Amino acid sequence: MLAEVSALLAPIVAAIGYSSYKARQFEHAYPNIGELTDIGGYRMNALHVPRPETADLPPLVFIHGASGNLLDQTGAFREPLEGRAEMLFVDRPGHGYSERGGPENALPSGQADAIAKLMERRGIEKAVIIGHSFGGAIAAAFGVRHPDKTAGLLFLAPASHPWPGGIDWYYHVATTPVVGWLFNHALVVPLGLRRLERGTLNVFHPNPRPLDYIAKTGPSLVLRPRAFFNNATDFKRLHEYLRANAPHYSGISAPTVIITGDRDEIVWEHLHSRGLARDISGSELITVRGVGHKPDYLATDVAIAAIEKIAGQPRDLAAIARKAEERLAGLVTRPVDDIGWRAQAAR
């Protein structure tokens, strides 16, 4: 009997050991480039770029999407905005190198409050809040809950409204008691590494993924057991949260721009981006034709022009978007198959 139990447990123990070893490797490959700040009982991680003397823009706060970390938005925006603004690239609570905090941080409202506290600790009174994908739900919550700290809102392929359908199976498994712990500690790493290449290609589909995207943005950090559990928990709570809170968007009064692609199969443009444009009075919706879920990388120039317009500078965003479309038309696309990353849920 003992031999049978040992034979059963041995592969599980080996898988947990392998996953623990790989998690340390991920952190070695993508060390923390930010700084941890205590915001009252737990620490938030962020890369803070101080206000330069040449700044012509207000402070900017960047919020990454699901399965991500601050390296994603840093890779898209830090270099082109260097010397123009104070910038704060945030690891959302429980993601990247940020600690999770309390149960309220499983909701966009709690994460928005955490970012507001971090801004206070960093001496940022008011900022343009930029949210990509899942970060869009948090940016919207920030605009509703902290109007005094909101100089403007920029949504990039945002997840903002309840959607028909469900979420991928592994998010349900990851949050199941006991079974979820075993899944997160033994299976997520080997399964995730097999899907990483194809998954990141699908996030950019139908556009080409930058060749150095994985090397620069550390998507494997989400495969660490605690990070994967937090990511799955966020997903499971999102639909119910949006159903209850999307009606509050009409109270947002900050200058708002929404940028989306018409080929986004991760977060549906017609439901989320158009919904925000409908709900936020005076907002401007810019749809970039031929772009999928990553306008932050594919149409960075349009996003920066939107920040400039929010800051009061005259910009014809529609004309700038058309020029971006002309540029993108020359890029070579690569076919990808559907492996579940194009879920009916928002990424």
The per-residue pLDDT for 335 is 39
**Distance in angstroms (rounded) separating the CA atoms of residues 76 and 116:** 23
Answer whether 146's CB lies under 8 Å from 187's CB.
no
Q: How confident is the model at residue 128 (pLDDT cuts 50, 70, 90)?
A: very high
pLDDT in tens, 306-336: 999 999 999 999 999 999 999 998 764 443 3
Mean of pLDDT values over 248-259:
98
pLDDT at 263 over 90: yes
**Distance in angstroms (rounded) separating the CA atoms of residues 140 and 156:** 12
Query: What's the domain count of the chain?
Result: 1
The per-residue pLDDT for 12 is 85
Instruction: Identify how many contiguous H helices and E strands the chain contains and give both numbers.
Output: 13, 8
- Is residue 101 a part of any domain in this protein? yes
One-letter amino acid at 142 equals F
The per-residue pLDDT for 334 is 44
- Is residue 255 a part of any domain in this protein? yes
pLDDT in tens, 48-97: 999 999 999 999 999 999 999 999 999 999 999 999 999 999 999 999 99
Mean of pLDDT values over 2-8:
56
> Residue 192 has which token pair?
């995730």
pLDDT at 278 over 50: yes
> Residue 227 has which token pair?
């990070």
Calculate the dihedral angle through the C-alpha atoms of 130, 132, 138, 141, rounding to the nearest 10 degrees: 60
The per-residue pLDDT for 342 is 30
**Distance in angstroms (rounded) separating the CA atoms of residues 260 and 141:** 19
- Is residue 12 a part of any domain in this protein? no
Q: How far is CA 231 from CA 18, 54, 105, 187, 286, in A?
A: 21, 38, 11, 16, 29
- Is residue 26 a part of any domain in this protein? no
Dihedral sign computed on CA atoms, order 194, 94, 145, 76: negative
Which one, of 4, 1, 9, lies nearest residue 182 by Cα? 9
The per-residue pLDDT for 341 is 27
Find the domain containing 190 and state its range: 33-328
Answer whether 144's CB lies under 8 Å from 221's CB.
no
Tell me the CATH number at 174: 3.40.50.1820
- Is residue 11 a part of any domain in this protein? no
The per-residue pLDDT for 4 is 55
**Distance in angstroms (rounded) separating the CA atoms of residues 162 and 244:** 9
- Is residue 17 a part of any domain in this protein? no
Q: How far is CA 58 from CA 183, 287, 314, in A?
A: 44, 25, 15
Question: How large a percentage of the chain has pLDDT more than 70?
Answer: 93
- Is residue 336 a part of any domain in this protein? no
Give the CA angle between residues 102, 49, 70 to the nearest 5°.
45
User: How high does pLDDT run on average in the chain?
Assistant: 93
- Is residue 42 a part of any domain in this protein? yes
3-state secondary structure of 332: coil
pLDDT in tens, 43-52: 999 999 999 9
Beta strands in the chain (DSSP E): 35-38, 43-49, 60-63, 87-91, 127-132, 150-156, 256-261, 284-288
pLDDT in tens, 98-107: 999 999 999 9
The per-residue pLDDT for 344 is 33
pLDDT in tens, 150-204: 999 999 999 999 999 889 999 999 999 999 999 999 999 999 999 999 999 999 9
Give me the DSSP letters along 41-106. SSEEEEEEEPPPTT--S--EEEE--TT--HHHHHHHHHHHHTTT--EEEEEPTTSTT----SGGGG
Which one, of 199, 230, 238, lies nearest residue 217 by Cα? 199
**Distance in angstroms (rounded) separating the CA atoms of residues 55 and 57:** 6
The per-residue pLDDT for 6 is 56
